[in-house]
Structure 1
Amino acid sequence: MAELVSKRAQVARNRRTAVQALADYAVDEPRLSFVAHGENTTFRVDSRDGRFLMRVHRPNRHGPGVDSRVAVGAELDWLAALRAETELSVPSPVRARSGEWTTVADGRVCSVLGWQGGRMQAAHPKAVHFRRLGGVLARLHEHASGWTPPAGFVRMRWDWETFFGNTMEYGGVSAADCWDLLPAPVRVQFDEVARRMRIVMADLGTQSDAFGLIHADLHLENALFDGDAVRIIDFDDCGFGYWLYDLAVPLWDSHHRDDYPAYRAALLEGYAQHRDLPGLIHLDDFIATRYVAVGLWFAGMAQVNPAFAADLDKTMDYVRRSLDQML
């Protein structure tokens, strides 16, 4: 593994990029506060015009040959449509002075969103949080099913090749190389999930009853709760995929909890109140697929991000133990 640049140095560099990018937005007297450094580096922006989220996007995030600026712009097109056409609480995309959704600074694509308030409940979830999240997912899918994306709309396609092939880059590392970074027992498990999912996905097909535009990362850390309201954040992974995968995502990291059966029932109940449930016989297969996606992502990110590198062994052990139970 190449020598890692310290997290502090990476964040400082991206902060300079964010400051440069903000000059392209009508945000008066911005003050930046660091939020997170993962796929993207994000900063809270406080200004006389309000509070915003600035994202400095990682290059080559959206698959080979995909222009990151086009892909991020497509994400923001969907957010704008959700805000205009539904009552779902999603971030408000902010246009640059140029009229575009994004700008480029220091060679990095940057974007600005309105700030979303609320509390995360990932540490101490209750069944009610999963029920509300299920309702949100159903309404999100209902909109996606009836929405016609604008011309030039480009997002990731969460199919077998993306999950198990060499489509993605994680932390700048190709997916194939990430497979080679896995501990041998985890690699065996991932190969078994890939074998099963080739059959499952072929059986489901990609018609609208099974497949459409999904959030793809709506776990409890990407939902903010404020009374009865649920505010959805982080559409960075949104793309075309299986409705079932969107239901698997909030369940995968609660799978080990004693309350998991109640969480699962609540999520599905919330969804069913708004939309027919897809073929639930394969839900556990998609939860296993989520473990693969997270494991590959973490292995790649550990090559460039010191925080991920420090937790790599622990995370791989968690994934191995979890899949032992599932498989």
Structure 2
Amino acid sequence: MKEGQERKMCVLQEDQELEFYYELASRALNNYNMPETTVYFLQKSDTVTFKLESSSGVYLLKIHNQAQTRESIESELRWLQAIKEDTDLVVSEPYLNIKGHLVTEIMRGDTPFLVTIQHWIEGEVLNREPTAEEALALGRLISTLHKHSREWERPEGFSRVSYDLEQLDATVQAMQALVTHGIIADNVYVIYQETVRMMKIEIEAFPKSEANWGLIHSDLHESNYVVHHDRISPIDFSACGFGYYLLDLAETCQHLSRENRRILVHAYGEQIKLPDQLDRLLEAFILWAVIRGFAFHAGNPDEREYLSETVPAIAEAWCSKYLQDVRFLFTG
């Protein structure tokens, strides 16, 4: 097949796939008490998402990954409901179907698809470094989530993934694909293996107590919070699960400037007591967040150029310092 024909086939397949998802979304809407609605496709990643506009409001429709269970999706949405009821955070609360259920099942042949609708959160994703005021608000936002996690009595049957040390082992193993495909050199991968070995020693000594471990967002980077006037709202809780609170803090910190890291950590620490030897420990969790991101993108051909540059750069800039017990959190 010639290159032009291949492109046409690819476009045709994409059109057919999009038509398929539009049909699922349309059928799902029959299960909701919603006035005439205009449906806009947003994107396909782990989930397929649509924006819904109707006279009753604006909403987000998700067709969930088939690897997700009803129990896991319902658990995510129940936490969002509780955050909405118990805190002053503005979050994307679920919109119930006509049966009063959080999740709608749509059958296509013998295959079930799980669909949810949530209220749309107004705001813009930042395409710049946050201001000092925004970094302060982020620290307070994360502390509010963690305080709620500590105090909330989870309902029976609540089920979410755990981000434990076994998961850390799995992520660094997934990075082996970068060596296999010639994206990074073997000696770079060895640096990450040694870094993880040291991180595990550090983290294993950190008690998995109620003060340190609980329900976290786990993916609160710059694409997963939006700014509307002076308000910052967390979005996309699809990766929420049980983990160390410092991992949540680290996920946000890794993307910030040194000064904004200081501001965010200070704001968080005003609400929640931070552990002794914080710098070294938080650096371990920042490296965990970085490695998890690399592992996530390792199988994506579109990310190879980025990974070929960034993975060795982080090994030199951060991993090497961590292995030498040289601080980088607020200095690099």
Answer whether TM exceeds 0.5 for this pair. Answer: yes
Asked if the contact 2:222/2:255 (under 8 Å) is kept, the reply is no
Q: 1:192 to 1:11 in 2, by over 3 A?
A: farther
**Which runs of 5 or more residues in structure 2 are unaligned?**
1-5, 320-332
2:304 aligns with 312
Spell out the pairing of 1:271-286 with structure 2 (5 A cutoff). 271-279=268-276, 280=278, 281-286=280-285
Q: 1:226 to 1:273 in 2, by over 3 A?
A: farther
Identity of aligned residues (%): 27
Spell out the pairing of 1:145-160 with structure 2 (5 A cutoff). 145-160=150-165
- Which of 115, 119, 124 aligns to 2:124? It is 119
- Which of 237, 240, 243 aligns to 1:241? It is 243
Aligned residues: 298
Q: CA deviation at 1:88?
A: 1.1
Q: Which one-letter code corresponds to 1:83 in the other structure?
A: K
2:205 aligns with 203
Q: CA deviation at 1:210?
A: 1.2
Q: CA deviation at 1:20?
A: 2.0
Q: Is residue 258 of structure 2 the alignment partner of residue 261 of structure 1?
A: yes
Q: 1:319 to 1:12 in 2, by over 3 A?
A: farther
Structure possessing the higher radius of gyration over alpha carbons? 2
Given the two structures, how large is their TM-score scaled by the length of structure 1?
0.84
Q: Is residue 20 of structure 2 the alignment partner of residue 13 of structure 1?
A: yes
2:39 aligns with 32
Given the two structures, how large is their TM-score scaled by the length of structure 2?
0.83
C-alpha separation in 1, matches of 2:270 and 2:175: 39
> What's the CA shift string for 1:12-31, capped at 9, x where partnerless?
43332222222222222221
Asked if the contact 1:11/1:41 (under 8 Å) is kept, the reply is no
Asked if the contact 1:139/1:275 (under 8 Å) is kept, the reply is no
Q: 1:316 to 1:41 in 2, by over 3 A?
A: farther
Q: Is residue 317 of structure 2 the alignment partner of residue 325 of structure 1?
A: yes
C-alpha separation in 1, matches of 2:269 and 2:237: 23
Q: 1:146 to 1:36 in 2, by over 3 A?
A: same
Q: Which one-letter code corresponds to 1:85 in the other structure?
A: D
Q: Is residue 189 of structure 2 the alignment partner of residue 182 of structure 1?
A: no
- Which of 101, 115, 121 aligns to 1:110? It is 115
2:85 aligns with 84
Q: Which one-letter code corresponds to 1:141 in the other structure?
A: H
Greater relative contact order structure (CA < 8 Å, 6+ sep) = 1
C-alpha separation in 1, matches of 2:202 and 2:163: 14
> What's the CA shift string for 1:88-141, capped at 9, x where partnerless?
111111112222211122422211110000122243422222211110000110
Q: Which one-letter code corresponds to 2:123 in the other structure?
A: G
**Which runs of 5 or more residues in structure 1 are unaligned?**
62-67, 167-174, 255-259, 303-308
Asked if the contact 1:160/1:197 (under 8 Å) is kept, the reply is no
C-alpha separation in 2, matches of 1:236 and 1:195: 29
- Which of 209, 214, 225 aligns to 1:223? It is 225
1:306 aligns with none
Q: Give the RMSD, CA atoms, in angstroms.
A: 2.2
- Which of 55, 64, 81 aligns to 2:62? It is 55
